Every structure is written in structure tokens, then in C-alpha cells.
Amino acid sequence: MSTYPDIETLHKHLAQCRRCAEAGFRIESTPVVSGKQSARLMVIGQAPGIDAFAPNPRPFGGDSGARLFRWMARVGWSEEEFREKFYITAVTKCFPGSDPKSNGDRVPTVTERRLCRPWLDAELALIQPEVILPVGRLAINLFYPPKLKLIEVIGDHKVDEQGRIIVPLPHPSGASRWFNEPRNVARLELALYRLKLLKEQLDL
């Protein structure tokens, strides 16, 4: 049961969230999510990227998003249609900054994930998606045991205890390295095939 009457009210409160900064994290408090309450499919990513600073930030608005939307185009949705129809959010909603030890973005800490979790729970309660695409390890861990390897969950799909169909996908920003292995590529192909079938069966 969400404590917010509708998604617009949730978004207004979310925009003012400073939980991580108040807990001492050097984070840019700019939550980035998109979509309507009527969305039947929800994407859950890890956290927004540097593109969160664009004039009108959108989830998956950067390079990794370009790759994700190439995958969705193969399923049968243009980026425009996908963004219009579906809800896109993340495990943590604000850009966590760059990781000084790598070329990528910092992975949100366990504490940040815990601080942000009530927002995701409220989004799920309001939207009640039929299909959820957890994208990347952090989001997949919400639905699958963390001890499972990525290759063991990509290409799988399941109905969870709330009747939602879960179709995990690898994070597109990590895809290049992951896809050096042909068997990983085959798992993604299977995931996209399952998604295409669901699109047709559920008329998504």
C-alpha cells in the first residue's frame, strides 16, 4: 500500500528527497525516473548516469541507454514508444558520482540502496506492473538470489509471488565485457526472445 495517492504526488516528494546527502553521501540529489501510473511494464535500473545533469534528464538517457533501446527495438518497441508506454526507474534514483577506481559510475552502497528502497516500494505499489525488467546486478538481486551468476539468470523469466513476470537483463553499460563470451550473447538473445513473446501474448 503506497503512502502516496498517485504517481505525480510521489514524484513531487521524490524530487525533494535528500536522504543520501543527509546521511553523508556526496551525491547529487537529482532523482531521475519517468513514466505514468498506468504503465504495464517497469524497468528497474541501477542508478542514473552522468546524463542526469542534462537539461531534461531521462533514465537511460546516455550511452548505456542507447544500447538498451537497441535491444528494445529488436523486441519491437522504438525508444519513443517504450518511453511513452512504460515506467523507468532505478534501485537508487540519483546519480552516485564517478568511481575513481574505474571509468564507470560508482555503484550505490548498501546504505544508499536501503535509504532509497521505500521509493521503489511506493512506485511498485502505485503502478502494479505486470512485467518487470530488472536491468543489471543490483536490480536483479531484488528478485533472484545474489549468489546466482548473471549467466544463470539472464534468459530466465519467472512469475514472482505477486504475480508479476520478471525478465532480467544485463546492464547495457557492462555489456561489452560481458559479451566477450558467446554463451553470454546467447543468454541475452534468449531474454529478448522471451520479451518478444510476452509483448505479443500480453499485447504490450
Rounded least distance, CB 13 to ligand SF4, Å: 10
Distances (CA, A) of 72 to 43, 64, 69, 80: 12, 13, 5, 11
Helix/strand/coil percentages in the chain, nearest 5: 45, 10, 45
Distances (CA, A) of 162 to 122, 128, 184, 189: 15, 9, 29, 27
Q: Are 42 and 71 in contact (CB under 8 A)?
A: no
Helix (H/G/I), strand (E/B), else coil: 123: helix
Establish if 115 lies at the interface with ligand SF4 (CB under 6 A).
yes
Nearest CB to ligand SF4, comparing residues 17 and 153: 17
Among 7, 31, 57, 86, binds ligand SF4 (CB under 6 A): 31
Rounded least distance, CB 136 to ligand SF4, Å: 16
Among 94, 166, 169, 195, binds ligand SF4 (CB under 6 A): 94
Establish if 29 lies at the interface with ligand SF4 (CB under 6 A).
yes
Among 11, 19, 164, 194, binds ligand SF4 (CB under 6 A): 19
Interface residues with ligand SF4 (CB under 6 A) are: 14, 17-20, 29, 31, 92-94, 112, 115-116, 119
